[in-house]
Structure 1
Amino acid sequence: MIPVARPWLGEEEAAAAREAILSGWVTQGPRVVAFEGAFAERCGATHACAVSSCTTALHMALLAVGVRPGDVVVTVSHSFIATANAVRHCGAEPAFVDVEPETFNMSPEALERFLEEDCALRDGVLRHDFATRGGLPSESPLWACGGGRAGRVAAVLPVHQLGMPCDMTRILAIAGRFGLPVVEDAAGAAGSALSVDGGASFAPVGRPHGAAACFSFHPRKILTTGDGGMLTTADAALDAAFRLYRQHGMSVSDAVRHSARRVTIESYVTTGYNYRMTDIQAAVGVVQLGRLDDMIEGRRRLRALYEQALSGVGWLRLPCEPRHARWNVMSYPVRLMPDAPVGRDEFMQRLLDRGVASRPGVMNAHAEPPYRTGLRLPHSEDARERVVLLPMFNGMSEADVETVAREVRGVG
């Protein structure tokens, strides 16, 4: 069986984890500091803060930019449900806009249309009434906030889907017109780069271009620590807030307290969370980060092999890289065209019967019970029904690619 994904971990990562375990310091500590410094340098970011997952990173980032109970965050439904859940964790409600059919990323046109046509200034505050777009889900925290079906629009949350960078030039310009902070869900985008000057130059995702960028180190991502996340920002005040939130609002970190020459008693200055990364995870992360360029180069080579092997399959659309993006090829999504010989599920089953695993494309939160209303997002829904992720992982051989391509061609 050729799996759809597999983490690329080896003896060096195992040795780093072993060293951390035997050091006696396994919680958040010196290896977390080292990983943060290395990640910030790799991204060109001023600050990096390691946490337990990308979901916790998103939660903290939204809190830090001012999202509060009763607010609205504009984002996409076409993402893993953690994106929407992180908004709910703030006591706010996601307002979903559609995606671009080619990249599966937030459509700048849809964002602009939503802010201009579906929101209104009331007493100087931009507000959205969910009654205008399918209603408010029964689980929404807005029902308990006294504002009925309307809330203050507090932030924009685009997703660099499957590692493909969004068109941040246009998204930032639109959000800026309305005075909205932008938090980037960069869960799978470690190593990707984007341009905000029309392709003349590129900067790593995570510099960041918005207020903060949030990464995942889940095993499905290129860079993994087993699980974990990272926030990057250029704003020292935001970074300070992240560090308070991740450790119970504690004023003094464990490392500072344990290295102090005088008795140091911490205080708890805000409501915080247990969102810390362990030193065991960070030790693995440092090794993985050192291999990131090689991993991306390998994935780009596999992508080129796929394009060569599948370019003649007329009923299959292969992924494209827009001018503003340099993609890390986290996954390999293909779209079944209307004239495909079978539907998505039958396509996947036939591959599975022949020893090739695959996965449906990205989910839609607005189709799941906690967020379901009458809202229609045609491009998101079409992508969910037609996109399939083919195997893509470091260590995949040229023969594996040819096997997958042969079985795909055989479906037709």
Structure 2
Amino acid sequence: MGSTIPYGRQTISAADIAAVVDVLQSDFLTQGPVVPAFEDAVAACCGARHAVAVNSATSALHIACKALGVGPGDRVWTSPLTFVASANAALYCGADVDFVDVDPRSYNMCPERLAEKLEDAAASATLPKVIIPVHLAGQSCDMAAIHAAASRYGVRIIEDASHAIGGSYRDQPVGNCRFSDIAVFSFHPVKIITTGEGGMALTNDDTLAELMRLDRSHGITRDPELLTEADAAPWYYEQQRLGFNYRLTDVAAALGLSQLSALHGFIARRRQIASAYDAALSTLPVTTPWQHPDAQSSWHLYVVRIDPRRTSRTHREVFAALRAAGIGVNLHYIPVYLQPYYRALGFAPGLCPAAEAYYGEAISLPMFAGLTDAQQAEVIAGLAGALAE
């Protein structure tokens, strides 16, 4: 057996390294000119008015919730199939969290389940202030349907697009906030592009953008137009909110700006890999990813589901066999409410049947732009072997 093929991996070029070195040799390592340049480039790429760079997508979700006024006594709903940060961000604000089951084909928040849950919540005066649909694996949720359901009740929307930069919905880039108040990206190393660690919140709302800029840096501003003090001295600054130290560095932004120039190439390669998986796995006892006709995935993940009707191999057996063969498969995700912390809050199995069914069958296969054809062939052969009777 050779070395392990990871499920995801960053691709770092000589140009990326040179961009970082340039910043290391400059006068600015933290908040310099490269952060706003990166923000402007991402906003332009996605067609959004504002972009606010921060040190992680978790931080972006937190300041997004804060900007929308989420606090104690409020409710936030999200998908159970996500990293825990999507729900945790609401808890950081003192709000309560609940979950909306997923569509059994796309694994994204189901608009029908959302509409039903909103109707019930309206009747019991327990509507959420915010919902956070999650674009699992890089495929956009059906945002028009989600927006239609939420706007009926005045519910605000944060898109957790951590997986989805470079994807599109209805022929428009994910992140343009056409159907949401705020959209959030992640630049963790296994994502489409990376800053090492980092995230970004996009919005078309000037007020929300300003609140998020304040909250990423202790709630402090030096902007003369925002100061409450008239004729302020040149050294003067004001803390106007209780913010956080969520700033992205110029070093990280330089890497992100360089990576952004390769985004379209990364996406093209990921789509090529997905198409090859689709073709090669069509005869195996697995369900390959279904794609919504309105969405073009960025293919952060390629998730298959073991079909128990067509194989006697269990989910765990297949996963273990692939790992033993040096194929670094993973599982995205355990439904959030099944985590011990959330069970202690009162959640129990049975809340989201479609999400739990997915969890019992899903395996993320290696998917990254640097995956070679030979490595992909090894993954395909390994999966076929693991499923063999």
> Equivalent residue for 2:308?
338
> Equivalent residue for 2:159?
184
- Residue 364 of structure 1, aligned match among 335, 340, 343: 335
| SS of equivalent residue, structure 1 residue 2 | coil
The yes-or-no answer on 1:237 pairing with 2:186 is no
Question: Map of 1:137-286 to 2, 5 A cutoff?
Answer: 153-195=128-170, 202-208=171-177, 209-252=179-222, 263-286=234-257
Q: Is the contact between residue 348 and residue 357 of structure 1 (CA under 8 Å) also seen in structure 2? A: no
* Deviation string, structure 1 residues 131-162 (Cα, Å, up to 9, x no partner): xxxxxxxxxxxxxxxxxxxxxx2111111111
The yes-or-no answer on 1:95 pairing with 2:95 is no
User: Aligned-pair distance for 1:361?
Assistant: 2.9
Q: Is the contact between residue 82 and residue 332 of structure 2 (CA under 8 Å) also seen in structure 1? A: no
Distance 1:118 1:248 in 2: 35
- Residue 45 of structure 1, aligned match among 39, 45, 48: 48
Larger CA deviation: 29-38 vs 300-309:
300-309
Question: Map of 1:371-390 to 2, 5 A cutoff?
Answer: 371-372=342-343, 373-374=347-348, 376-390=351-365
> Equivalent residue for 1:199?
none
User: Aligned-pair distance for 1:119?
Assistant: 4.1
User: Aligned-pair distance for 1:312?
Assistant: 1.1
Counterpart code for 1:77: P
Question: Map of 1:282-321 to 2, 5 A cutoff?
Answer: 282-313=253-284, 315-321=285-291
Q: Is the contact between residue 48 and residue 232 of structure 1 (CA under 8 Å) also seen in structure 2? A: yes
> Equivalent residue for 1:136?
none
Distance 1:293 1:92 in 2: 38
Counterpart code for 2:31: Q
Counterpart code for 1:331: L
Q: Is the contact between residue 54 and residue 216 of structure 2 (CA under 8 Å) also seen in structure 1? A: yes
User: Aligned-pair distance for 1:371?
Assistant: 1.2
The yes-or-no answer on 1:398 pairing with 2:373 is yes
Distance 1:341 1:391 in 2: 24
| SS of equivalent residue, structure 1 residue 399 | helix
User: Aligned-pair distance for 1:72?
Assistant: 0.5
| SS of equivalent residue, structure 2 residue 12 | coil
User: Aligned-pair distance for 1:18?
Assistant: 1.1
| SS of equivalent residue, structure 2 residue 147 | helix
Distance 1:184 1:160 in 2: 8
Instruction: Flag as ranges the 4+ runs of structure 1 deviating above 6 A.
Output: none
User: Aligned-pair distance for 1:355?
Assistant: 2.0
> Equivalent residue for 1:141?
none
Distance 1:2 1:190 in 2: 24
Distance 1:32 1:321 in 2: 34
* Deviation string, structure 1 residues 29-74 (Cα, Å, up to 9, x no partner): 2100100010000001111110111111111111111211121012
| SS of equivalent residue, structure 2 residue 175 | coil
> Equivalent residue for 1:28?
31
Distance 1:400 1:320 in 2: 23
The yes-or-no answer on 1:353 pairing with 2:324 is yes
> Equivalent residue for 2:79?
76
| SS of equivalent residue, structure 1 residue 67 | coil
Distance 2:313 2:175 in 1: 39
- Residue 108 of structure 1, aligned match among 98, 106, 111: 111
Cα RMSD (Å): 1.3
Distance 2:31 2:106 in 1: 37
Distance 2:287 2:385 in 1: 16
Distance 1:24 1:109 in 2: 53
Question: If the length of structure 2 is used for normalisation, what is the TM-score?
Answer: 0.92
Counterpart code for 2:12: L
Counterpart code for 2:384: R
| SS of equivalent residue, structure 1 residue 248 | coil
User: Aligned-pair distance for 1:357?
Assistant: 1.4
User: Aligned-pair distance for 1:409?
Assistant: 1.1
Q: Is the contact between residue 309 and residue 402 of structure 1 (CA under 8 Å) also seen in structure 2? A: no
Q: Is the contact between residue 81 and residue 332 of structure 2 (CA under 8 Å) also seen in structure 1? A: no
| SS of equivalent residue, structure 2 residue 328 | coil
Counterpart code for 2:330: R
Distance 2:215 2:351 in 1: 36
Distance 2:209 2:7 in 1: 36
Give the percent of matched residue pairs that are identical in Structure 1 and Structure 2: 38
Unaligned runs of 5+ in 2: 224-232
* Deviation string, structure 1 residues 92-147 (Cα, Å, up to 9, x no partner): 011111001111100111111111124435xxxx425xxxxxxxxxxxxxxxxxxx
Counterpart code for 2:79: V
User: Against the structure 1 CA distance between its residues 212 and 247, is the aligned structure 2 distance closer, same or farther, given a 3 Å change threshold?
Assistant: same
User: Aligned-pair distance for 1:78?
Assistant: 1.4
Q: Is the contact between residue 7 and residue 330 of structure 2 (CA under 8 Å) also seen in structure 1? A: yes
* Deviation string, structure 1 residues 241-299 (Cα, Å, up to 9, x no partner): 1110001111127xxxxxxxx83311111111101000000000001000000000001
User: Aligned-pair distance for 1:17?
Assistant: 1.0
Distance 1:410 1:280 in 2: 44
Q: Is the contact between residue 305 and residue 398 of structure 1 (CA under 8 Å) also seen in structure 2? A: no
